[in-house]
A and B are shown apart, each in its own frame.
Chain A
Amino acid sequence: MDKLKFFDANCSVGRTGNPHLYDIPDAAGLKREMEAAGVEEALVYHVIARDADPRLGNSRLMHEIQDYPELHPVWAVFPHHTGEMPPPSKLLPEMKALGVRAVRMFPTKALQSFSLADWCAGELLSALEWGRVPLILDAEVIPWEEVRGLLATYPRLPIVIANCNYRQNRFLYPLFEKFTNLFVELSWFMGGGAVEDVVQRFGSRPLLFGTNMPRYTGTAAVGLLCYADIDRKDKEAIAGGNLRQILGKVWP
């Protein structure tokens, strides 16, 4: 049987100030980790875009991955009202021109200090929904009530919850029941039998392969999916098919 083609929804480049063990600051390092795990493609954002400045980090990202067609850019964005970010009318055409098909946001006071509420991010979120541009949010910082609000308000906006730990099912399952624009990335979603349980209840649609490389190893998520007790077609969907389908609908 052919090897699964893995498309990772959760990778980064850029030096972090507090690496666990090894400094893996660049795309070449990420590629080495991907090859060790057997991951072919990845959505990638830049650490500077998260921890310093989105525009600067996004620019660094495009430079860093320019020689790696298997690495696909993810921009960090936030609302334009301070002038630090272009308005959606300019930002989205820029993204489209540069092949950016996914974004991350780091809201809340603890991160980039903005709100996802309509009065602050409504214009940007509406534009992203129009473009079907998936929005990746870290589970650790977004209250589930807020996620629920986004899913309901922007039903054609794919929302990917990244770094979603294994203790979240009691929040997640009622949302899976109601919203088909909710997706969860696998890097931390590793409860015993969780993949089989989600697939049995909701199908493979909500799950996206992800690793959080190079900060964390990609080999763990690969092991989880390769040994999963689900049909081959579901494995293929989770490994990369679902993400490719989402990205294929961007810029309708």
Chain B
Amino acid sequence: MNPDFERVHAGLPLGDVEIIDVHAHMGPYYNMHIPARDPARMVRIMDLCGIAKTVLSPSLSWDTDLVFANDLMRLAVAAHPGRLYGACAVSGNFPELSAAELERCFADPAVKMIKVHPAVSKCRLDDKRMNGIYEFAARRKSCILAHTWLDNDPYGNMDLFAGVAKNHPDIAWIMGHSGGPYGSRHAAELAAEVPNVYLDLTLSMCPARQVEFFVKEIGSERVMFGTDHPFLDPRPQVGRVALADISADDKANIFGKNARRLISFE
């Protein structure tokens, strides 16, 4: 019997493990109704399932004004100190603006990461306009979370992601969604090859035994807990890691220790 089985089924937070969500968002998005999109309701849901901290980037940044979006992110983070942290959203389409945004947002100690979305911005991860972002990340020792989805994304597919990560070994790269539900095998192969690549569990449809597969293939030290909250409810992700057939140490790594190693929350 999985030692967390009874607590999950009783609807109780796990208690003895810190859960840090490194892949979340905030605010509205054009093609969906998000019932609990405001930060206060997000924190309420975090409380219900025992998520201690969440690092979020603003959804508006991808299709509209990244400055306005980062403002919203910073307001949310400021309203929930110690619970919500920021991922500064930037884009190679705006290299100078992104450089300024990084300086501005990282002046706030609650901003901890960088988020890029190549597929929506339609700026390739290896576009030279991205270099300023990568230089900043290396200098500030910030990890970068990049959206990846399947092999046919010309802007941020998994091979492109791994190639850029290999060229920037000083940066910890979180492979958002690990390439999607059909990308798990290739994601694990790339992570095995490139040591500064971390796999993200965020998915809306989660392949059976994916958590166990990643742990077996690359070890739990490079598997990150992420949720897409509030696009997606984070509670399914808590359930699937807690009920995975892996050791307590592996769960602790995935739920929070890995995030602690990559991000200083002090």
Residue numbers of A with Cβ under 8 A of B are: 1, 3-4, 20-22, 24, 33, 36-38, 165-167, 169-170, 173, 187-188, 190-197, 212-217, 219-224, 226-229
Contact = CB atoms under 8 A, between A and B. Distances in A.
Interface in B189-208: 204-208
Contact of B36 (A21, A187, A196, A217): A196
Interface stretch (B66-74, B85-93, B110-118, B225-233): B225-233
Given A1-B10, A33-B208, A217-B210, A193 B245 contact: no
A174 B10 CA distance: 33
Given A4-B9, A36-B2, A217 B207 contact: yes
A38 to B, nearest CB: 6
Interface stretch (B122-130, B143-151, B161-169, B236-244): B236-244
B49 interface: yes
Contact of A226 (B10, B31, B32): B10
Contacts of A222: 8-9, 239, 243
B232 A192 contact: yes
16 contacts: A21-B209, A22-B208, A167-B31, A169-B32, A173-B33, A190-B233, A191-B33, A193-B34, A213-B208, A215-B208, A216-B207, A217-B208, A220-B206, A223-B8, A224-B236, A229-B44
Contacts of A190: 204, 232-233, 236
B42, B208, B233: most-surrounded residue (chain A CB, <10 A) = B208
A223 B35 contact: no
B11, B45, B213: most-surrounded residue (chain A CB, <10 A) = B11
Contacts of B8: 38, 222-223, 226-227
A223 B181 contact: no
A11 B181 CA distance: 18
Interface in B154-186: 181-182, 184-185
Nearest to B211: A217
Contact of A193 (B36, B49, B237, B238): B36
B230 A38 contact: no
A195 B83 CA distance: 23
A192 B207 contact: no
Contact of B32 (A1, A3, A167, A219): A167
Interface of B: 2, 5, 8-11, 31-37, 41-42, 44-45, 48-49, 181-182, 184-185, 204-210, 213, 229-240, 242-245
A-B CB proximity, top 10 nearest? A223-B239, A193-B36, A192-B230, A220-B236, A20-B207, A197-B35, A169-B33, A193-B35, A219-B243, A167-B32
A197 B230 CA distance: 13
Nearest to B9: A3
A180 B166 CA distance: 55
A138 to B, nearest CB: 13
Contact of A165 (B10, B204, B209): B204
A4 to B, nearest CB: 7
B34 A191 contact: yes
Nearest to A215: B208
A5 to B, nearest CB: 11
A224 B210 CA distance: 18
Given A195-B233, A222-B9, A228-B235, A216 B36 contact: no
A218 B31 CA distance: 27
B13 to A, nearest CB: 8
Nearest to B210: A21
A236 to B, nearest CB: 12
B239 A212 contact: no
A169 B51 CA distance: 26
Contacts of A188: 204-205
Given A188-B204, A220-B237, 19 more contacts: A20-B184, A20-B207, A21-B213, A37-B243, A187-B205, A190-B236, A192-B41, A192-B45, A193-B230, A214-B208, A216-B207, A216-B208, A219-B236, A220-B240, A221-B239, A222-B8, A223-B238, A223-B242, A229-B48
